[in-house]
């Protein structure tokens, strides 16, 4: 690899708090692997965010890239990929919070496994069909596989830049289009499989093949104690009561139940 870029989106309309949370977590947990950190300032939500972002560039030894506030995160990911010269790209969305040391080293190590094209900190079997109103399901079936629909979630993931630029990555100016790119019939994960490559979920204890994602305790399983990087969805589960947790777990995994902690990585 030519080198790794870690790309964190700073969405200005959210204000300074998510940026400060990410920066604090980045300082607290060593990546364990050489990289360039790029703060992508998206949108013009006020001078306070832009000013703090530029200050953190110096404090964290990062780079700054300004991109227009057009489209959703997946559009910003691709715009950044086209601008940045790197062998591998690790994308962290605006709600990302690093939880464990060696987080990037774990992702990097998994990506170097033979035949692996995509790694992420969480995955799910959820389908957009599951919670859709019945009248909409015939239309949605054209765009989304039924449950189980395994896909790497795009809140925090890593792949080689060359592969990413080879994928079909349509604009996702609407949330439904972004959802389709993450979990639809032509999702990033399914396209990677189409290249004959594997997609892994990576926890603190190593990498998990698709059939073991539900055992990884990274997303809606156990107390998510194996999670490397949190986001809004993992925080929703962490803060939920037992009934809501059970509901969220069923959406992600159906009747599969997370097993006990694995004695060693599954991939």
pLDDT, residue 45, reads 59
Burial (Cβ within 10 Å: 0-12, 13-18, ≥19) of residue 59: exposed
Domains observed in the chain: 4-253 (3.90.550)
CB contact at 8 A, 64 and 57: yes
Which residues share a beta bridge with 91? Answer: 7, 157
CB atoms within 10 A of CB 194: 12
Q: Which helix (H) or strand (E) holds 60?
A: helix 47-60
- Return all residues near 53 (Cβ < 8 A) that are at least 6 apart: 10, 19, 39, 41, 64
Burial (Cβ within 10 Å: 0-12, 13-18, ≥19) of residue 85: exposed
pLDDT, residue 172, reads 80
Quick: pLDDT tens for 19-72. 999 999 999 999 999 999 999 998 765 789 999 999 999 999 999 999 987 778
Angle at 121 between CA 117 and CA 122, to 5 degrees: 100
User: What six digits make up the tokens of 199?
Assistant: 């997609």
Residue ranges with strand state E in the chain: 4-11, 36-42, 63-67, 88-92, 97-98, 116-120, 123-124, 151-152, 156-160, 198-203, 206-208, 229-230
pLDDT, residue 1, reads 46
- Return all residues near 156 (Cβ < 8 A) that are at least 6 apart: 90, 91, 92, 93, 96, 120, 121, 122, 228, 229, 231
CB contact at 8 A, 39 and 50: no
CB atoms within 10 A of CB 74: 22
Distance CA 203, CA 79 (A): 28
CB contact at 8 A, 206 and 267: yes
pTM: predicted TM-score of the whole model, two decimal places: 0.93
Least Cα distance to 204 among 262, 249, 156 occurs for 262
pLDDT beneath 50, residues of the chain: 1, 260-264
pLDDT, residue 130, reads 79
Distance CA 251, CA 126 (A): 6
Distance CA 131, CA 134 (A): 9
Reply yes or no: is the peptide bond before residue 148 cis, omega within 30 of 0. yes
């Amino acid at each position: 690899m030519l080198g790794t870029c870690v790309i964190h989106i700073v969405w200005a309309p959210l204000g300074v708090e998510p940026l400060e949370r990410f920066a604090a977590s980045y300082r607290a947990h060593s990546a364990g692997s050489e990289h360039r950190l790029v703060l992508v300032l998206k949108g013009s939500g006020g001078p306070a965010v832009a000013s703090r972002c530029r200050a953190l560039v110096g404090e964290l030894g990062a780079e700054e890239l300004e991109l227009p506030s057009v489209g959703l995160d997946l559009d910003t990911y691709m715009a950044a990929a086209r601008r940045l010269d790197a062998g591998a790209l690790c994308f962290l969305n605006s709600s990302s919070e690093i939880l464990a040391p060696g987080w990037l080293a774990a992702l990097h190590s998994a990506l170097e496994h033979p035949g692996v094209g995509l790694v992420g900190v969480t995955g799910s079997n959820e389908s957009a069909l599951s919670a859709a109103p019945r009248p909409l399901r015939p239309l949605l079936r054209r765009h989304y596989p039924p449950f189980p629909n395994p896909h790497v979630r795009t809140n925090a993931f890593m792949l080689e830049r060359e592969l990413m630029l080879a994928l079909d990555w349509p604009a996702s100016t609407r949330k439904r289009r972004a959802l389709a790119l993450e979990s639809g019939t032509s999702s990033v994960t399914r396209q990677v499989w189409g290249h004959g490559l594997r997609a892994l979920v990576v926890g603190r204890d190593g990498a998990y093949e698709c059939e073991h994602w539900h055992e990884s305790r990274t997303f809606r399983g156990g107390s998510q104690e194996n999670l490397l990087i949190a986001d809004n969805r993992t925080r929703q589960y962490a803060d939920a009561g037992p009934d809501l947790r059970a509901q969220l777990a069923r959406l992600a995994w159906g009747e599969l139940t997370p097993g006990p902690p694995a004695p060693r990585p599954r991939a």
